[in-house]
Structure 1
Amino acid sequence: MIVAFTPYSKRLRELASTRGDQVALVVETPDATETYDFPTYDERVDAFASGMMDAGVKAGGAVIVCGPNSSATVFATAATWRLGAFSVVISARASAQDLAAYIEILGERYPRVTVVSDHLTPGAGAGHVPLDALHEGRCDREIVDHNPVPARAIPSGGTTGRSKLIVDPAPVGYSDEPMLLSPLGFDDVDSILVYGPLYHTAGGNLLHLAIAKGYRTVLMDRFDAMRAQHLIEKHAIEFLFAVPTHLQRWLNLGDGLRRDAFRTIRSMYHTAAYCPPALKERWLEFMGPERVWEA
């Protein structure tokens, strides 16, 4: 069976031309809210790509994005793919030793590695561009879209404690065919809240998948139970991903946990760790079994 697939960068162009002022990305921090519609999102990706081209990023290379849950980290990752390079997002708290290890790993496969970071500067042999500088840039040239395969890897310390990269072999993009999350209600929503770190699979992959689907995607700088509940209500969120730790932290709010704040949730999917039966029972009662999924 042939599955219709649109690469991520091409999909962004399509959404920018067809979705007008529809919101693509909202970034929420305790102090500010950033909102980007689909045309602006696509323009920012071009601006980041232009700045990264000036730093030597091109098809066939690799980019390490070291940043927090922020619009800059999102745009830098998308720009990496637009330029045809391989992306690795690492924690903003990563050490110079961590960075050196990832550069060494990538250097075995890619002819040039570029680091996008405000606080980590690589040694000789790798390029560098500050994340904040990219956010200030503009694009005055045509950026040719690419489709790197593979496109990304997730960093992991693994059981040995040594830095390693887990490569995702799939391309990044959009398909209207059923996918892994389809049975969990992901195809039946139009808004999603992401609070997992962008250097984790559930954070980064889920965010870009939702953007490619054309959903209104809300990104938190970090998980906080009370703020997350507020944002679910504020943005009428319909899809959530959670791990048992998130579920327990919400319950820890006690009387502050409000059932009506979750009324717009159509599907809450939890996985990644063992969920104690008592915790699962509390959420089945709180949400209703028809809205809670586990995989």
Structure 2
Amino acid sequence: MTESRRTGLWRIAADEPDRIALVDPSGTEWTYAELAGAADRYARGFAERGLVAGDCVVVLLPNCADLVACYFATFESGLYIVAVNWHLTGPELGYIVSDSGAKVFVAGARFAEAAVTAADIAGIAAENRFAVGEIPGFRPLAELAAAGPGRPANRTTGAPMLYTSGTTGRPKGVRRPLTGADPDDVPPAAGAFFGLFELKPFDDHVHLCGSPLYHTAVLNFVTISIHLGHKVVLMDGWGPEPMLELIARHRVSHSHMVPTQFVRLLALPDAVRAGYDVSSLRCMIHGAAPCSPDVKRRMLEWWGPVVTEYYAATEGGGTVISGEEWLRKPGSVGRAWPWSIVRVLDDAGNELPPGETGQIYLQMGGSSFEYHKDKAKTEAARVGNLFTLGDVGYLDEDGYLYLCDRKSDMIISGGVNIYPAEIEGELIVHPAVDDVAVFGVPHADWGEEIKAVVQPAAGVEPGDELTADILAFAARRLAKFKLPRSIDYLPELPRDPNGKLYKRRLRDPYWADRATAI
């Protein structure tokens, strides 16, 4: 890269208009000029409808170029964008659209029924409902761009306001103050974040996006990649072999993944995996969920030390560990980012020494956030300038963080603390297990006992024989007090496409049965 080569969507569009910015799921290529032009037209459309800096736009779209263009339109207009999880029901979506205070709602025809319900609940004006495809009562998205070409009059940097998953209650929007920066400039934090993974501007990088863009990290990786001159390839629905095919075809250098995708990739026959050239990979980044050490080790053996892990939050702050470091510190999620702080505190808010388990707190230097319309939740998650996601873990003497589990998921059986993530990490290695969740269920004497729910691998018949085999396998890898006392089976566990497990949906019925009995 030469010193004069500029970054940022609009500057690259001016300097290298024909450079490919995006390949959508159909294979259609979008140049930087085309993507910047679409963003400008949508931004002018937002302004025509009276939106000003600080207002909010909600998008309910699959992975597509229109979603990315809408993001950049809000980015240059000082608007907040909420990309919502399209697995939610109409009323659940309606709550988010309403809570966010959205002025404009953009939805895809695939989600028409839920979109109409959500827009009605939130009271979105008919003239501010836009659709990609046909949705009753929604206007074609092309009408938003009818204001014509050219940049909007008042350009200032906006931000995403993405909602937490709501696994422990109503989802909350994570909202940061707007910076007032020039949208032509790449935010310094974006370049610094990619620097953690040694991802430099241009440098022939190609980013593959296989997860939905409504997830914070996924959206960030796509938009930062474009700002830094990296071509982005979008998938609309992830599959292990299709991913390998795209890696080979586009010479993909980096992607953002979750451990469940690793498990699916490793389940492919050896001949299939060997049939695709993955030598272009430079940094395959994973987070969002715990990864079994055995799964991680197998991926490192296949792809080499390019597998990098991080632990972070929509709210900010985090850790990172390279593949080479992980082999020296197996099981760790790394050390704090240079501008972040990681602390482990006890229930009284006192810092714990290395090796002692407590609640993990993070801080991103110079940054702040609040949960939208929920001051109490914001304050409850904080100790001074630190905040917690409710995860439990410890730091070693070198400052490497190890996760145990979420505090809310911890099982207390006979007075002993048991961390389900450790058990799940062992059971997932069993060849007949495609996915697994472990949690506590009521026990009259011990308080709780360990329950496992298993999603069997394709072609595997659940039953007593499989249960006995899994438990025997576990007994060779886990202490007796960590062994599940029973195993149930489901054809599919409730995860979102980013790998997050909705464990509460599995656990709650067992406790509800107890309450009914009482």
Query: TM-score category by the smaller chain?
Result: 0.7 to 0.9
Given the superposition, is the C-alpha separation of residues 14 and 145 from structure 1 closer, same or farther in structure 2, using an over 3 Å criterion?
A: farther
Matched, 1:182 2:195: yes
1:220 Cα shift? 0.8
Matched, 1:126 2:124: yes
Amino acid at match of 1:196: S
Q: Name the counterpart of 1:276.
A: 292
Q: Secondary structure at the match of 1:131?
A: strand
Report 1 or 2 for greater relative contact order, CA contacts < 8 Å, sequence distance ≥ 6. 1
Matched, 1:230 2:245: yes
Given the superposition, is the C-alpha separation of residues 97 and 129 from structure 1 closer, same or farther in structure 2, using an over 3 Å criterion?
A: same
Q: Secondary structure at the match of 2:59?
A: strand
Matches within 5 A, 1:195-214: 195-214=210-229
Q: Name the counterpart of 1:3.
A: none
Matched, 1:99 2:93: yes
Q: Residue 161 of structure 2: which of 147, 153, 160 is its match?
A: 153
Given the superposition, is the C-alpha separation of residues 170 and 181 from structure 1 closer, same or farther in structure 2, using an over 3 Å criterion?
A: farther
Given the superposition, is the C-alpha separation of residues 39 and 236 from structure 1 closer, same or farther in structure 2, using an over 3 Å criterion?
A: same
Matches within 5 A, 1:251-270: 251-255=266-270, 256-258=272-274, 260-270=276-286
Q: Name the counterpart of 1:74.
A: 68
8 Å Cα contact 1:20-1:39 kept in structure 2: yes
Matches within 5 A, 1:17-56: 17-28=14-25, 32-56=26-50
Question: Hey, which of these two has a bigger chunk of helix by percent?
Answer: 1
Stretches of 4+ aligned residues off by more than 3 angstroms: 50-58, 135-139, 168-173, 175-178
1:139 Cα shift? 5.0
Given the superposition, is the C-alpha separation of residues 101 and 86 from structure 1 closer, same or farther in structure 2, using an over 3 Å criterion?
A: same
Q: Name the counterpart of 1:61.
A: 55
Report the identity percentage: 27
Provide the rounded CA distance (Å) in 1 between the counterparts of 2:295 and 2:172.
33
Q: Secondary structure at the match of 2:297?
A: helix
Q: Secondary structure at the match of 2:173?
A: strand
Q: Secondary structure at the match of 1:163?
A: coil
Q: Secondary structure at the match of 1:280?
A: helix
Based on CA coordinates, which of the two structures has the bigger radius of gyration? Answer: 2
Q: Name the counterpart of 1:89.
A: 83
Provide the rounded CA distance (Å) in 1 between the counterparts of 2:222 and 2:72.
11
8 Å Cα contact 1:55-1:129 kept in structure 2: no
Q: Secondary structure at the match of 2:88?
A: coil
Q: Secondary structure at the match of 2:244?
A: helix
Amino acid at match of 2:162: I
Query: Which deviates more from structure 2 when the two are superposed, residues 41-50 or residues 52-61?
Result: 52-61
Query: Which deviates more from structure 2 when the two are superposed, residues 119-128 or residues 219-228?
Result: 119-128
Q: Name the counterpart of 1:288.
A: 304
After superposition, the C-alpha distances for 1:178-227 in whole angstroms (9 at most, x for unaligned) are: 51331322226521101111110121111111111111111111211111
1:293 Cα shift? 1.5
8 Å Cα contact 2:283-2:307 kept in structure 1: yes
Matched, 1:14 2:22: no
TM-score by length of 1: 0.84
8 Å Cα contact 1:193-1:237 kept in structure 2: yes
8 Å Cα contact 2:78-2:178 kept in structure 1: no
1:73 Cα shift? 1.3
1:238 Cα shift? 0.7
Q: Residue 193 of structure 1: which of 186, 190, 208 is its match?
A: 208
Amino acid at match of 1:287: W
Given the superposition, is the C-alpha separation of residues 180 and 189 from structure 1 closer, same or farther in structure 2, using an over 3 Å criterion?
A: farther
1:243 Cα shift? 1.2
Q: Secondary structure at the match of 1:91?
A: coil
Provide the rounded CA distance (Å) in 2 between the counterparts of 1:259 and 1:243.
23
Amino acid at match of 2:216: T
8 Å Cα contact 2:21-2:35 kept in structure 1: yes
Provide the rounded CA distance (Å) in 2 between the counterparts of 1:219 and 1:76.
15
Matched, 1:163 2:171: yes
Given the superposition, is the C-alpha separation of residues 103 and 292 from structure 1 closer, same or farther in structure 2, using an over 3 Å criterion?
A: closer
Provide the rounded CA distance (Å) in 2 between the counterparts of 1:209 and 1:145.
22
Given the superposition, is the C-alpha separation of residues 168 and 273 from structure 1 closer, same or farther in structure 2, using an over 3 Å criterion?
A: farther
After superposition, the C-alpha distances for 1:64-92 in whole angstroms (9 at most, x for unaligned) are: 11111111111122212222211100123
Amino acid at match of 1:126: I
8 Å Cα contact 2:57-2:105 kept in structure 1: yes
Amino acid at match of 1:114: V
1:165 Cα shift? 1.3
Amino acid at match of 2:274: R
Q: Secondary structure at the match of 1:63?
A: strand
Provide the rounded CA distance (Å) in 1 between the counterparts of 2:46 and 2:11.
23
Number of matched pairs: 278
8 Å Cα contact 2:8-2:229 kept in structure 1: no
Provide the rounded CA distance (Å) in 1 between the counterparts of 2:20 and 2:41.
19
Provide the rounded CA distance (Å) in 2 between the counterparts of 1:21 and 1:260.
29
Given the superposition, is the C-alpha separation of residues 277 and 141 from structure 1 closer, same or farther in structure 2, using an over 3 Å criterion?
A: closer
Q: Which runs of 5+ in 1 are unaligned?
A: 1-5
1:270 Cα shift? 1.6
